[in-house]
């Protein structure tokens, strides 16, 4: 993709390809919450769900969240902070029994316990986690650094740049996530140079920058553009620009001028 190509044309072709393939974009757009309406339990739940996305087949989790929420005590922060090793093992086994592929699941469950303790620390100092985030709501980089920097007393386990972006989207802070799907897509159309789809901090920041520029050019929120592009790529969603791309369904490839040369 050359710099002369307009983001709007790129977005329109992605959107059209999804619609013509039978994927209803607007029906599937994820809810973008109003942060003011969230309490600490809600925020913790959305943090856990962001962490669940790590190396996950997402539809397996989505289809089972009613059961997972019960297993995780409906994200009661104090109770999660006090989970024993035996209880974590029980939760692990029960989630695996849901036929969810459990890569890093044990590590994620331990991170939930550690992060619950961090949430309690924040709440003790600021009255609530909601209050802490509210104080810095318009400075997402400040919040990001507090949650991802190793020297921060509020560092969250398993939360780096990409997962923090997912967490922010989940709680109503506009952001753009650099995940493997978006990295692969941006690489294929020449917006970034990262053919191996390796998520480093440098790549994550680069992808976020492109994502925000993309959203600004077409005058849409970053989380909305993120959703649509992710649908275009993700398995069991639009699944067009996936690991095995269906280029004949993609107007970036089939229409002139070609905005993607395909990836066979």
Res 103: pLDDT: 84
What is the per-residue pLDDT across 238-249, written as a single tens digit (0 to 9) for each? Answer: 999 998 999 999
- Predicted local distance difference test score (pLDDT) of residue 2: 45
Domain co-membership, 144 together with 81: yes
Q: Are 71 and 88 in contact (CB under 8 A)?
A: no
86 and 210 together in one domain: no
Q: For residues 238 and 231, is the Cβ–Cβ distance under 8 A?
A: yes
Instruction: Enumerate residues 6+ apart whose C-beta is below 8 A from 181.
Output: 229, 230, 233, 234, 241, 242
Positive or negative, the CA dihedral 14, 163, 148, 192 is negative
* Number of domains the chain is built from: 2
d(CA 118, CA 51): 15
Closest C-alpha to 161, from 203, 120, 129, 212: 203
Q: Are residues 183 and 116 in the same domain?
A: no
Identify the sign of the CA torsion 251, 197, 181, 240. positive
| Cα–Cα distance, 131 to 143 (Å, whole number) | 12
**Structure tokens belonging to residue 127:** 């009255």
Same domain, residue pair 182 and 216: yes
Looking at residue 193, its pLDDT comes to 79
Burial of 58 (0-12, 13-18, 19+ CB in 10 A): middle
Same-domain check for residues 183 and 163: no
116 and 43 both lie in a single domain: yes
Residue 2 lies in a domain: no
Both tokens of 57, joined, read 């087949």
Name the residue among 197, 257, 210, 199 with its Cα closest to residue 5.
257
Residue 224 CB partners (closer than 8 Å, separation 6+): 29, 32, 215
What integer pLDDT is reported at residue 196 of this predicted model? 65
User: Looking at the domain assignment, is residue 259 inside a domain?
Assistant: no
Task: Please tell me whether residues 204 and 113 are part of one structural domain.
Answer: no
> pLDDT tens string for the chain (264 positions)?
444 458 999 999 999 999 999 999 999 999 999 999 999 999 999 999 999 999 999 999 999 999 999 999 999 999 999 999 999 999 999 999 999 988 899 999 999 999 999 999 999 999 999 999 999 999 999 999 999 999 999 999 999 999 999 999 999 999 999 999 999 999 999 898 766 666 788 888 999 999 999 999 999 999 999 999 999 999 899 999 998 999 999 999 999 999 998 865
Q: Is 234 left (phi over 0), alpha (psi -120 to 50) or beta?
A: beta
Residue-level pLDDT at 4: 45
**Residues 56, 102 within the same domain:** yes
90 and 152 in a single domain? The answer is yes
- Please identify, among 128, 151, 170, the residue that sits at the C-terminal boundary of a domain: 170
User: Could you tell me the two tokens for 13?
Assistant: 């072709």
Q: Supply the CATH number for residue 131's domain.
A: 1.10.340.30
Domain of 234, in residue numbers: 7-30+177-254
CA angle 160, 42, 157 (to 5 degrees): 25
Q: Give the separation between CA 182 and CA 187, rounded to whole angstroms.
A: 8
Q: Are residues 135 and 227 in the same domain?
A: no
Does one domain contain both 134 and 49? yes
Model pLDDT, residue 256: 92
The pLDDT, as a whole number, for residue 92 is: 97
CB atoms within 10 A of CB 237: 19
Kindly state whether residues 114 and 60 are assigned to the same domain: yes
């Amino acid at each position: 993709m050359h710099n002369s190509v307009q983001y709007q044309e790129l977005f329109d072709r992605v959107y059209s390809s999804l619609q013509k393939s039978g994927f209803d974009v607007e029906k599937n757009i994820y809810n973008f919450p109003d942060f003011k309406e969230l309490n600490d339990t809600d925020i913790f739940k959305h943090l856990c769900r962001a962490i669940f996305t790590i190396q996950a087949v997402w539809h397996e989790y989505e289809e089972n969240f009613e059961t997972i929420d019960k297993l995780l005590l409906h994200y009661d922060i104090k109770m999660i902070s006090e989970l024993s090793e035996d209880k974590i093992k029980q939760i692990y086994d029960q989630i695996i029994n849901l036929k969810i592929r459990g890569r890093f699941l044990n590590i994620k469950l331990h991170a939930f316990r550690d992060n619950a303790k961090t949430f309690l620390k924040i709440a003790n100092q600021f009255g609530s986690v909601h209050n802490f985030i509210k104080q810095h709501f318009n400075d997402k980089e400040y919040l990001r650094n507090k949650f991802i920097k190793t020297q921060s007393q509020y560092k969250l386990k398993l939360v780096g740049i990409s997962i923090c972006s997912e967490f922010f989207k989940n709680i109503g802070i506009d952001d753009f996530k650099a995940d493997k799907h978006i990295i692969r897509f941006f690489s294929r159309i020449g917006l970034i140079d990262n053919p191996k789809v390796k998520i480093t901090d440098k790549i994550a920041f680069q992808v976020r920058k492109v994502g925000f520029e993309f959203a600004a050019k077409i005058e849409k929120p970053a989380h909305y553009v993120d959703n649509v592009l992710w649908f275009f790529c993700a398995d069991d969603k639009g699944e067009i620009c996936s690991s095995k791309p269906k280029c004949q369904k993609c107007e970036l490839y089939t229409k002139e001028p070609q905005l993607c040369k395909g990836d066979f």
